[in-house]
């Protein structure tokens, strides 16, 4: 089936399930979709299967009984790869008001669709919003530390980072991205202010979407509570380490969203945007670097960092409140976060390692005996994986 065989409905938000060769995972996701709540019984479902030769997967796509509206099975006869597959799924926005893209290792909550509809209604005409996340990320994967967000009563905040474990694009959002991507498919990521990890991604579709966000100064809507979780099965871009699940909201609620202008915002590094006013500084002169991974690449005069650096300390704060920026907003003094004036050098010994006090802020309530056991298991797994790769060669 090609796109011409899918009935257009520009009033509908379609669900697009992205599959390859994991029929057990796909069945779990599809069953969770069937069990969810919907505003009507005219919800389009597209099951898009990349070419794998897995007949069990193909049969599931063809024969799955969708209870809530029209169902379309798209089985590709040539291998796309995940990046191209996701882009083709986004292109279904030409047929619908929006699409919810779900890879087959996900699971959705009962109210995921109603959350998405509410978010689309809130931000459909907001040009600064480029996508809507269903998944609430809890880990800063660029530095291996927990993420912290300011909760202001809204069900979502804005972050300059794409989500790949459940996301929605409206037709307006996707058209603007596609127009940009069509002339930037081979863009060099080096000049962009973003984590090195993103720049080094080779096959991830989100690499280019993140570049797009940074270049155009756009944001993704991020929920405080997840409407999806990632079950973490081994796949094209993952392994079976169980670290990608997220706490989900398991009941229904009335969704509330602030306007874009009034929303809390975080940059591509997951650092709070707009902290300058609490320090009496212009934001353009301030590098907020809570996670210590920016290296003040933009050469801003003032640098807020958890590390000991060779500059004059003009203020210092504790890590006692969550999120981290709350310590600055409420003026909690201490020796965990340091505001440096980079125009004045000192002979301070540089230390880019977290202290015990800083470390335990991020990993509170941890049983360290279990932590040692976890590290042992993880190292053992990595060694086995490396050996397996060597013998395959």
C-alpha to C-alpha distance for 120 and 129, rounded to whole angstroms: 10
205: Cβ contacts below 8 Å, ≥ 6 apart: 82, 83, 86, 87, 164
What is the residue-wise DSSP string for 116-133? HHHHHHHHTT-TTEEEEE
Two structure tokens written together for 106: 């996900």
C-alpha to C-alpha distance for 207 and 197, rounded to whole angstroms: 10
Q: Burial, 36: exposed, middle or buried (Cβ in 10 Å; 0-12, 13-18, 19+)?
A: middle
What is the residue-wise DSSP string for 203-251? S-HHHHHHHHHHHHT-EEEEESSBSEEE----BTTB-S-S-----B--S
Q: Burial, 138: exposed, middle or buried (Cβ in 10 Å; 0-12, 13-18, 19+)?
A: middle
C-alpha to C-alpha distance for 50 and 58, rounded to whole angstroms: 9
- Phi and psi, residue 72, nearest 5°: -125, 135
Contact assessment for residue 273 and residue 287, using Cβ atoms and an 8 Å cutoff: no
Q: Is it the case that residue 163 has pLDDT exceeding 50?
A: yes
pLDDT, tens digit (0-9, with 9 covering 90-100), for 336-382: 999 999 999 999 899 999 998 998 899 887 777 787 887 888 788 77
Give the number of other CB atoms < 10 A from CB of residue 74.
20
372: Cβ contacts below 8 Å, ≥ 6 apart: none
CA atoms within 13 A on the CB side of 25: 20
Residue 198, pLDDT score: 95
pTM over 0.75: yes
- Residues of the chain with pLDDT > 90: what percent? 82
Q: Is it the case that residue 148 has pLDDT exceeding 70?
A: yes
DSSP classification of residue 271: P
DSSP classification of residue 3: G
Residue 367, pLDDT score: 78
Higher pLDDT, 367 or 61: 61
Residue 236, pLDDT score: 46
Residue 363, pLDDT score: 87
């Amino acid at each position: 089936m090609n796109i011409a065989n899918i009935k257009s409905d520009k009033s509908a938000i379609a669900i697009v399930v992205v599959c390859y060769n994991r029929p057990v995972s796909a069945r779990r996701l599809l069953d969770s979709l069937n069990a969810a709540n919907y505003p009507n019984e005219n919800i389009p479902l597209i099951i898009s299967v990349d070419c794998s030769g897995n007949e069990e997967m193909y049969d599931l796509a063809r024969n799955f009984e969708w209870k809530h509206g029209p169902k379309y099975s798209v089985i590709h006869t040539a291998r796309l790869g995940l990046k191209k597959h996701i882009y083709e799924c986004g292109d279904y926005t030409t047929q619908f008001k929006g699409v919810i893209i779900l890879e087959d290792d996900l699971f959705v909550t009962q109210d995921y669709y109603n959350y998405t509809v509410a978010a689309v209604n809130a931000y459909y005409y907001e040009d600064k919003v480029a996508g809507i996340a269903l998944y609430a990320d809890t880990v800063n994967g660029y530095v291996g530390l927990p993420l912290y967000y300011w909760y202001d009563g809204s069900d979502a905040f804005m972050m300059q980072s794409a989500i790949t474990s459940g996301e929605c694009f409206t037709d307006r959002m996707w058209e603007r991205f596609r127009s940009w991507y069509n002339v930037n498919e081979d863009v060099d990521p080096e000049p962009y202010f973003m984590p090195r990890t993103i720049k080094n991604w080779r096959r991830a579709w989100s690499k280019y979407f993140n570049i797009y966000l940074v270049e155009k100064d756009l944001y993704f809507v991020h929920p405080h509570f997840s409407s999806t979780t990632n079950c973490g099965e081994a796949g094209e871009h993952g392994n079976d380490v169980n670290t990608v699940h997220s706490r989900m909201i398991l009941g229904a609620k009335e969704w509330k969203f602030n306007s874009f202008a009034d929303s809390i915002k975080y940059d591509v590094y997951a650092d709070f945007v707009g902290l300058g006013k609490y320090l009496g500084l212009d934001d353009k002169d301030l590098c907020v670097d809570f996670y210590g991974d920016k290296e003040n690449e933009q050469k801003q005069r003032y640098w807020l960092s958890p590390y000991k650096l060779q500059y004059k300390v003009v203020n210092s704060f504790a890590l006692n409140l969550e999120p981290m920026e709350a310590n600055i907003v409420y003026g909690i003094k201490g020796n965990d976060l340091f505001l440096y004036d980079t125009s004045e050098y000192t002979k301070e010994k540089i230390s880019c390692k977290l202290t015990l006090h800083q470390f335990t802020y991020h990993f509170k309530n941890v049983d360290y005996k279990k932590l040692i056991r976890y590290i042992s298991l993880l190292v053992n797994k990595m060694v086995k994986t490396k050996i397996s790769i060597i013998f395959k060669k």
